[in-house]
Chain A
C-alpha cells in the first residue's frame, strides 16, 4: 500500500513528512553506510534506545545489524551504561563504513530530551517495568512509534492508559512478547483454535510466582547512576545494587514496587500464548481464584512449587498457573488440553497428543493467525505501512491484565471476579484499588 501511495516520495519523507526537513542537525551524512545492501540514511528508520540494561543491551546488536535502521541516540540513567552503548553504536557503524570513526549517536540522561528530537522516528524502550507506561505514553505524545519491552505495564490501569495513548496518536506499538513471532507458538495456537484438540477445556501455564517486598540493606549509590530517577514514580527506597539489577533470578523483577515478578515477566510470554490460543485477545477471565494454602504460597511466592492461581473464563475454559498437569505431567511452557487431545509448546519444544494433531497441516478453512516475519521486522514493517503489529498494545494489555489479576489474587489471598469488558473488579472495592498505584511526585501518566 505504501509503495503505491507514495510513488516518487522518498521513504524518509514517507516516514517523517514535513518534519524530516528539520532533522538536518542530526542527519547522518549521505555517504555513510550506503553500501552492501544498507539502505541509504534517508530511507532508514531512526531509532532511539531508552534503557540500556539487560534487554536494551540485548536488542542493540540486532538493531545495529539491521540495514533498515539507524540507531541515533541512547538514553539511560546510568552514565556508564549509556556511554558504553554509544561506544558500541559508533564502533559498529564505523566498522560498517570501513572507516576509522563514526560520530552520530547521542547520549541522553533524560528520556524527555531524547523524545524531543524531531529526527527520531521510533523508540526501543527497555526500561524497568515501573517506567514502561510513562515512557510509552510520552513517546506517543511525541509522535513516535515504539517497541516496548514486556510486560506491558506495572498496573492494569497503566495498560489501559497505554492503549488509549497509542490509539489517540495513531502510533505503531510492538509489545516485546516475541513468542508470538515464533513458528512453534503460532502453530500451537492455530491447532487449538482450529479445534484440533476438540473443545478446549483447560490451559496450564508454567511460570514463576509474583513479586514481593525485598529487604535489602542500603549501599552507597554506584558512581554514574541517578538513583532518584531510576526510582522515578516508585516509592523512595535506599539504594541497593540488587534492587536495580536487571538480572533474572532476582533484581527489580522480583520487587513489587517495580515489577509483578515472574507472573508478569514470564507471564507476558506464556500467559500471552495462552490468551492467543484461547482466542481471548481483548478479553480475559471472569474469575481468579488463589490457592487455598494462601498464606504459605504468598509468603514464598514461587508459582513453580505446587498449587497456583486458577483462572476461569466465561466460556468454561479453566487456566491453571501451575507446573503440574493431571497425571503428574511436568508442564513445559504452555499446555492446552482439549476433549480430543493436547498441545504443549515452549521455546524449542512442541508436542501434541496424539502425534497426528501436530503433523496434519493447517488447511485453508482452519484458523490462520497473523504470521510475523520476526518480532523486530514486523514492527519495522508496520512503521512503514502503519498497520498493527503482531503484539499491538491492546494485545499486550490483555495479556498483562491476566498476569496482574493473578498477582492481586495472590497478594490479597482471595478470589476476584473480573469484568473483562468494563475492566473492573466486581464486588471488591479494596481489591479494585490495586488496579493502579499513585506515583511519586512529580510523575504522572
Chain B
C-alpha cells in the first residue's frame, strides 16, 4: 500500500478513533503498555509491522524507503487538527521500540518520536532508560527533552534522582536545562557542588538557563564563593540569569548582578558583559555610568560603552548625551558626538552645531561627522564656511558632511552657497556637489564647466560623467571639445565614455563624437579619436580609418594607435591533432621535431577541437581536455579573404607556437611562457579565397592554451573575414 492510500485510510479511521473512549491497556511488545486499541492505532501498527524489516535492514542503503515512509506518516500526523492521529501513531511506534526490534529500526523510530510524541509516550520512553544499549537510552533522553509534556520533565527528574554515572547525570541535567524546568532547580542546585567538575558545570549552566528566582539566588551565592575551574561557568550562568531577569521585568535585580560583576576584578570579557547588561537592564538610567566609562583610561571599555550608548533605543538618551557633552573630556566628547551621529536623532543637531567650533580639533571633526548623519539644509552655510576656513582632516570632514546631508532642501542650499562663494571655497563646494551625485545639481555643474579653478572644472566634468543623462551626451562632448589642459581633457574623455556607454546602440553612442570631429582643431580631434577607440562600433571604425589618412601627423598617429588597438576577429573554430610526445623529450625539444601533421603526405588524424573558446578574450585552453605534459599538438583552420591582401595576426601561447600559412612557416617562437593574447604580432599575406592556417603548440606543464586573432593591416576587423574547418576548403 502506498503512502497516499495509507493516509486516506487513516483519515477515514480518525473519526472512529475520536469516538473511541476508555480503551483497555494491554502490554506492548516493548515491555510497556499499549495505551489504546483504537482502529487508527491498529492501522498504524500494521503499517509499522510492514515497514519494520525495511527500517531495520542490515544494509544501510536498504533502509531508505521504509524509514522515509514512516517519516512521511509522522510529518502528516503532526499537522494541526490531527491530534488523534499524532497520538495514535506515537503510541503505535512505542509498541515497537523494544529490544525485540532490530536496532536500526529502534533508532529511527525514537528519532521520529522526538518531535512527535507527547504524554502518551513518556512512560514508555522512561522505561527505555533501563535499556541495555546506551544509544537507545540516549535517544530516549533526547525524545523526552523535546517532549512538551510536563510528565516528560518529571520522568527526566526521576531519572536524575537515581542516576549513578556522571556522564548520564550531565546528559539529564542538559535535558532539564533545555526545558528550563523550574521544578528541577532543587536537585540541580545540589549537583552544582558535585566533586565531579563536569556534573558541577552542567548543573551551574542549567541554573543559568532555568533562571527562576531560586536558581538566581543559588548563582548569586556562588558568585561570592566559586573558584576556578567552576568560576567561569558560574560567571556565564549568572550573566545569562540576569538576562532572564531583564526579560521578565526584574531589571533592578538584574542590574545588581551586573553591577557586582562590573566592579569586580573579573576578566575583561566579564566586565564587558556586565556593561552591556547594565545598558540593557537600565536603559536611559545607565547613561551616566556609560558616559563615565568613556573617560576611563582603558583600551576597550570606552568603545564598548559607546556601542552600548548607541544601542539603547530610548529617545530620552539623546537629551542625556547632549547634557553630558560639556561635562566630559575632549576625547569623551568626541565619542559622544559620534554616538549622537550614529543614533540619528536630529534633536541633537543644535548641540552638535555648537561643537563645530569647539577648541579641540578632535571634537570639531567629530561634530562635523555627526552633522553628516543628522544635519539638514540649515547647516549647509556652516559646513561651507568650515570647509573654506579649514584644511586637512577638518576640511575633509566638513566636505564629507556636505556630500552626505540628506533632505530635499540641501541641494538648493548648496547651489546658493556655490553662488555666494569666492574662488577657493567655490572649488571645494563644486567638488562636494559633484560627489553628491545628485541630478538636481546638474544645472549648477554645467554652469561651472568653465570654472576658473582647474580642480573644480575637473571635478565637475568627472561628475557629469557619472550624472549626465544620455540625452546630454552632446553637452558633455562639448565640454571635451572646450577642455584645456591634460587633467581636464583626460577627465572629459572619461566623462564622454561613461555617458556614451549608457547608450545601448554603438553608433548612437559615437554620433555626437564623430559630429564634433569635423570642425575640431587637431588636439581636440586627438582626444575625440581616443574616445572613439574606447567606444568602438562601425561608425567609429570608419571615422578612425578616415582620420588615419589625415594630413595632420598627430591626428594620423592617434588614429593609427586607436586602430592598432582595435580588436580583429578571434578564431575559435579549429581542428586538432595530437597530443604528440617523444620519450625523454622536453616541450622545447619537440618544437622543431616534426610529427605527422608536418610530415610529407600529412597522414595526421584531425578532429574538431571541442573546447569552447572564450569569446571575450579569444583564449582556448587545451589543458581543459589534454592533461599531458612535455607534448605538442596542432590546430588547423581555413581563413577566407575577399582579395589578396596583407593582414595582421595577433597570437598568444602557453607555451611555444609555430604558425604555417598555406604551408609556409610565418612565425615561430619556442617559448616557455604563460598566455598573453597579442604577445606575438605577425604580418601575413592572404591570398584571395581560402587560406590554410596551421599552428603547432607545445606544452611543458601547467596550463596549455593559445589565442589567435586576425585583423586588418591598419587594425580593426578584416572585411569579409571568415573561418571554417570544412575539409574541402583545404584543397
Listed in ascending order, the chain A residues whose CB lies under 8 Å from chain B are 1-2, 4-6, 9, 13-19, 141-143, 164, 167-170, 213, 215-218, 235-236, 238, 295, 299, 355-356, 359-365, 368, 385-388, 411-414, 427-431, 433-434, 436-444
Contacts and interface: CB of A to CB of B under 8 A. Distances in A.
Which of B111, B174, B240, B466 has the largest number of chain A CB atoms within 10 A? Answer: B174
A6 B61 contact: no
Contacts of A168: 239-240, 243, 273, 276-277
Contact of B410 (A170, A356, A364): A364
B87 to A, nearest CB: 11
Contact of B78 (A19, A236, A385, A431): A431
A167 B276 contact: yes
Interface in B357-396: 362, 366
A438 B145 contact: yes
B115 A213 contact: no
B272 interface: yes
Contacts of A13: 299
Contacts of A295: 3-4, 72
Contact of A217 (B61, B178, B308): B61
A386 B299 contact: no
A-B pairs, top 10 by smallest CB distance, nearest first, are: A143-B269, A441-B171, A430-B78, A386-B303, A438-B142, A433-B115, A361-B437, A170-B272, A438-B145, A359-B502
Contacts of B63: 215
A441 B115 contact: no
A19 to B, nearest CB: 6
A409 B67 CA distance: 20
B59 interface: yes
A164 B244 CA distance: 11
A152 B407 CA distance: 37
A117 to B, nearest CB: 14
Given A361-B466, A441-B170, A444-B174, 13 more contacts: A1-B303, A5-B331, A143-B272, A169-B269, A213-B71, A215-B64, A364-B403, A364-B437, A365-B410, A430-B115, A434-B115, A436-B146, A443-B174
A235 B276 contact: no
Contact of B60 (A164, A238, A299, A387): A238
Interface in B400-441: 403-408, 410-411, 436-440
B312 to A, nearest CB: 13
27 contacts: A1-B303, A4-B335, A5-B331, A6-B299, A13-B299, A14-B299, A18-B268, A143-B272, A168-B240, A215-B61, A215-B67, A217-B60, A362-B437, A363-B439, A364-B436, A364-B437, A412-B75, A414-B79, A429-B80, A430-B78, A430-B115, A433-B115, A436-B146, A438-B178, A441-B174, A442-B171, A444-B174
Given A168-B243, A363-B438, A428-B79, A440 B138 contact: yes
Contacts of A142: 269
Overall SS of chain B's interface: helix
B189 to A, nearest CB: 18
B135 interface: yes
Majority DSSP secondary structure for residues of A touching B: loop
A356 B470 CA distance: 10
A412 B76 CA distance: 7
Interface string B38-71: 0000000000000000000001110110011001
B728 interface: no
A443 B116 CA distance: 22
B171 A433 contact: no
Contacts of A443: 174
Contacts, number: 174
A217 B116 CA distance: 28
Interface in B501-530: 502, 504
Contacts of B236: 141
B10 interface: no
A365 B407 contact: yes
A96 to B, nearest CB: 24
Contacts of A4: 331, 334-335, 362, 366
B565 to A, nearest CB: 25
A382 to B, nearest CB: 10
Interface string B280-315: 000000000000000000111011101110000000
Contacts of A359: 502
B75 A427 contact: no
Given A168-B243, A364-B436, A441-B141, A412 B78 contact: yes
B405 A364 contact: yes
Most interface-central of B236, B299, B403 (chain A CB within 10 A) = B299
B61 A364 contact: no
Contact of A15 (B299, B404, B408, B438): B299
Contact of A433 (B148, B403, B467): B148
Interface string B170-211: 110011011000000000000000000010001001000000
A442 B307 contact: no
Nearest to B177: A444
B178 A444 contact: yes
Contacts of B275: 170
B67 A213 contact: yes
Contacts of B67: 213, 215
Given A236-B135, A238-B60, A170 B304 contact: yes
Contacts of A218: 60
A191 B59 CA distance: 55
